[in-house]
Chain A
Amino acid sequence: MIPVKSRRIGFFGTPLPLLKGLLFTLSRLFTKPVTYQYPEQKRQPADRWRGLHRLKTTDAGQLKCVACGLCEAVCPANVITVEAKETPDGRRFPNRFVVEVTRCIFCGYCQEACPKDAIELTTNYEFCGYTREEFHMTRDVLARN
């Protein structure tokens, strides 16, 4: 066994820090707990908090996204899938738009890359589910978010 050298603080010096520690914890006892009581009391995230994505819509209620695929290309985690389609009048829209949020790293690059300002990360951090599929957020889910 390797003997461990201890710093000697003397026989009577030993109890003093112990008492100090006791006093400190006692003073903690009378402070207000800092815990957020989650379901009732929610933490307000910062404005720039990056949470669940939203597909923005115009005032007319149409998706701003033109399915250019830039977000899909820039996404470092490769979690966005866009499938384009055209309306009869020649307007492009995402027929399918899926973000697998379980693998998303919430970097916000998709938001940066979008030329149409059509996607953004909201401050919503409350999404959960029982299956993996529930986290494959589709176009309509993201538009409603």
Chain B
Amino acid sequence: MLDFVIESVIKVVVVFAVLMLFVAYTTWIERKVLGRIQVRHGPNRVGPFGLLQPIADGLKGFFKEDIIPSNTDRLLYALAPALSIIPALLVVAVIPFGDQFTLFGRTITMRITDINVGLLYILGLAGLGEYGVMLGGWASNNRYGLLGSLRTAAQMISYELALGITLISVIMVSGSLSLVEIVEAQAGLWNVFKPILWVPFILYIICGLAEINRTPFDMPEAESELACGFNIEYSSMKFAMFFMAEYAHAISLAALITCLFLGGWNLPFVATPGFLKLPVFLAKVFALVFFFVWERGTFPRLRYDQIMRFGWKVLMPIALANIVVVGLYYTVIA
């Protein structure tokens, strides 16, 4: 029992530290790649290639004044940043990022836990994650903030439905809700390469982008209309926490897509040697993170009514039809 507790605590600390490091450097990747897409340099002053920039930004965040505007709902105002970052971090608890290895005679699995309803847990957390943004905008007693959070609420409800429905087809094919089993079922053939399953893959990426509020669905913080939206009244580390949450969400979404569709730690078509599993997983995650940045540098923000129409009139029907088609195909034909 005790050694289980110790092992878990160590794993949690290590995963948390590494995740925070990735979050910091995702901001660097984002700024650098966006810069290069716009034929600029991006950060290049702090350290070689601007590599120390995230650390400088973090330090700056700590030294800024923490402003609490008058007439805010103080409790919710302080709670909202934490509420938005915690679910993003909790998702990582069920992500299997590698198989297992032996250290000092102990078999250590490369995941914090493997619960048999992993996917339900993730869906639940995804719903929870939006409360941070919604409450943050509401509690700061600002029109732009309120508008931003209203939009978040509407967007979340619309896209979360399609997201959940899309997942069902993956669950049907893998026959399990546990992420580890889903990944193991993809050894040899990733889910994207299975017949029809590229449809839910694309759907999931689109809904996921809406879920984590990234461009082209970054309605809650549409800079040009809402002057940053929900986080307009936040400063200092509270503001930074919203941003960390955003990038943590991006990373966990990338990890999820990797597990669900891109075969987790599996190389395509060949068996993966044990030591390669973690690097393969991370490579896939960062390829997806790069894609998120890349599409942000490409696509303009959709208008609010377009987002709504797209969500309900295009994504929902496709997602529903997808369940039927995948179900029929895998029971009748395969």
| Interchain CB contact (< 8 A) of B39 among A18, A22, A33, A37 | A33
Contacts of B64 in A (CB 8 A): none
Are A28 and B39 CB-contacts (below 8 A) given A1-B305, A22-B294? yes
Which of A25, A32, A35 is the most central at the interface, judged by chain B CB atoms within 10 Å of its CB?
A25
Chain A residues with CB below 8 A from B38, complex form:
28
Could you give, for residues 4-39 of chain A, a 1 whenever the CB lies within 8 Å of some chain B CB and a 0 otherwise?
Answer: 000000000000001001101110110111110100
Are A35 and B41 CB-contacts (below 8 A) given A21-B298, A25-B294, A25-B298?
Answer: yes
Count contacts on A: residues with CB < 8 A to the other chain. Answer: 15
Out of B33, B35, B299, B305, name the residue touching A18 (CB < 8 Å).
Answer: B299
Interface residues on B, range: 10 to 19
> What secondary structure prevails in chain B residues at the interface with A?
helix
Contacts of B35 in A (CB 8 A): 33
A133 smallest CB distance to B (angstroms): 31
Which of chain A's residues has its CB closest to B303's CB? Answer: A4
* Interface flag for B143 (CB, 8 Å): no
Nearest-CB residue, chain B, relative to A27: B37
Q: What is the number of contacts between chain A and chain B, taking CB atoms within 8 Å? A: 36
* Cβ A33 vs Cβ B41 within 8 A: yes
Chain B stretch 185-225: residues in CB contact (< 8 A) with chain A: none
Complex formed: what's the CA distance from A25 to B39 in Å? 10
| B299 close to A21 (CB less than 8 A) | yes
Which chain A residue has the least Cβ–Cβ distance from B36? A29
**Complex interface: chain B residues within 8 A of A29 (CB):** 33, 36-37, 294
Contacts of B164 in A (CB 8 A): none
The interface bits of chain B over 270-297 (1 if a CB of A lies within 8 angstroms of the residue's CB, else 0) are: 0000000000000000000000001101
- On B, residues with C-beta under 8 Å from A are 33, 35-41, 44, 294-295, 297-299, 305
15 interchain pairs (CB within 8 A)?
A18-B298, A22-B295, A25-B37, A25-B294, A25-B297, A28-B36, A29-B36, A31-B39, A32-B39, A33-B40, A34-B39, A35-B40, A35-B41, A37-B41, A37-B44
Q: Which residues of A contact B (CB under 8 A)?
A: 1, 18, 21-22, 24-26, 28-29, 31-35, 37
Give 3 nearest A-B pairs by CB, closest first: A25-B298, A21-B298, A33-B41
